[in-house]
């Protein structure tokens, strides 16, 4: 598949085949992720791979975080939204939490954040090329007080992505973008 076709074929996947993803496969995807450009070879990204029982615990925390965002977190509506959020993550083969190590210099901090986002996209595109699906999320779980202690992620690290990874059961249609031509200027002289 051509590079442009591969990039355009990536979708955010929310329905998964009940299959695990091997450590070897995830390791290969992470090795692709760290080929992202990064200024001064700062390599600011950190990855936490969550599988097995730990993934179930994380999915349960995602469900609680979702429900807690409702005006009445004990309502039936909050409960069913929480359950949907839990099941979506529990159904994935693995979850990879991507964080960026903070630095004091504001220019470097911004560049490091860009590099970490590029690493996330490398991961997602590489996964797509291997027939896997990804879902880059943040959402209520990203701000949950449960997340960092559960995964021993340092308080200061910047959370960039919670990637669900697995074999897609369905691939949603393309969410249409503004054509690039509408947001592009060509400067020639
Ligand atoms: C930083 C970031 C955070 C995101 N967080 C969420 C999220 O919490 N919930 C969600 O449904 N989608 C989330 N998304 C995915 C976008 O909604 C998705 O990429 C967009 O709808 C386009 O769909 P596509 O990825 O299938 O092209 C996030 C994407 C990014 C880049």
% pLDDT > 90, the chain: 99
**Is the CB of 139 inside a 6 Å radius of any atom of ligand 1?**
yes
Confidence of residue 16 (pLDDT cuts 50, 70, 90): very high
- The number of folded domains in the chain is 1
Tell me whether residue 162 is in a domain.
yes
Tell me whether residue 70 is in a domain.
no
Q: Pick left, alpha or beta for residue 98 (phi over 0 → left; psi -120 to 50 → alpha; otherwise beta).
A: beta
**Is the CB of 175 inside a 6 Å radius of any atom of ligand 1?**
yes
**Is the CB of 11 inside a 6 Å radius of any atom of ligand 1?**
yes
Q: Which atom of ligand 1 is found nearest the CA of 135?
A: 15
Residue 42, pLDDT score: 97
Which residue's CA is the closest to the ligand 1 atom numbered 14? 137
Mapped onto helix, strand or coil, the DSSP state of residue 49 is strand
Which residue's CA is the closest to the ligand 1 atom numbered 7? 137
| Length reported for the chain | 189
- Using the mean position of ligand 1's atoms as its centre, give its distance from the Cα of residue 188 in Å: 35
Tell me whether residue 41 is in a domain.
yes
**Is the CB of 62 inside a 6 Å radius of any atom of ligand 1?**
no
Compute the average pLDDT of residues 122-139: 98
Q: Is the pTM of this model over 0.95?
A: yes
Tell me whether residue 178 is in a domain.
no
Do 147 and 60 contact (CB within 8 A), yes or no? Answer: no
Tell me whether residue 101 is in a domain.
yes
Angle between the 106-129 and 23-33 helix axes, to the nearest 10 degrees? 140
Q: Among candidates 4, 21, 37, which has minimal Cα distance to 134?
A: 21
**Is the CB of 143 inside a 6 Å radius of any atom of ligand 1?**
no
Tell me whether residue 130 is in a domain.
yes
Tell me whether residue 85 is in a domain.
no
Confidence of residue 1 (pLDDT cuts 50, 70, 90): confident
Q: Which domain holds residue 119?
A: 14-51+91-169
Tell me whether residue 58 is in a domain.
no
Mutation test of ligand 1: which of 13, 118, 136, 171 has the most ligand atoms closer than 8 Å to its C-beta?
A: 136
Q: What is the CATH number of the domain that holds 20?
A: 3.40.109.10
CA distances from 90 to 12, 63, 119 (A): 16, 10, 24
Tokens (6 digits) for 87: 């099941």
């Amino acid at each position: 598949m051509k590079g442009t076709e591969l990039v355009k074929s990536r979708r955010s996947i929310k329905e998964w085949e009940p299959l695990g993803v091997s450590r070897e496969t995830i390791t290969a995807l992470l090795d692709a992720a760290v080929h992202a450009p990064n200024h001064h070879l700062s390599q600011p990204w950190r990855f936490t791979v969550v599988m097995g029982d730990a993934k179930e615990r994380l999915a349960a925390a995602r469900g609680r975080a979702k429900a807690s965002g409702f005006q009445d977190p004990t309502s039936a509506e909050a409960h069913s939204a929480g359950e949907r959020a839990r099941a979506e993550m529990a159904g994935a083969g693995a979850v990879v939490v991507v964080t960026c190590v903070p630095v004091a210099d504001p220019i470097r901090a911004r560049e490091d954040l860009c590099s970490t986002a590029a690493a996330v996209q490398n991961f997602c595109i590489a996964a797509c090329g291997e027939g896997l699906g990804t879902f880059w999320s943040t959402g209520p779980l990203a701000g949950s007080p449960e997340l960092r202690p559960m995964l021993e992620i340092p308080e200061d690290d910047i959370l960039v992505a919670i990637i669900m990874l697995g074999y897609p059961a369905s691939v949603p249609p393309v969410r249409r973008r503004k054509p690039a031509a509408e947001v592009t200027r060509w400067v020639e002289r």
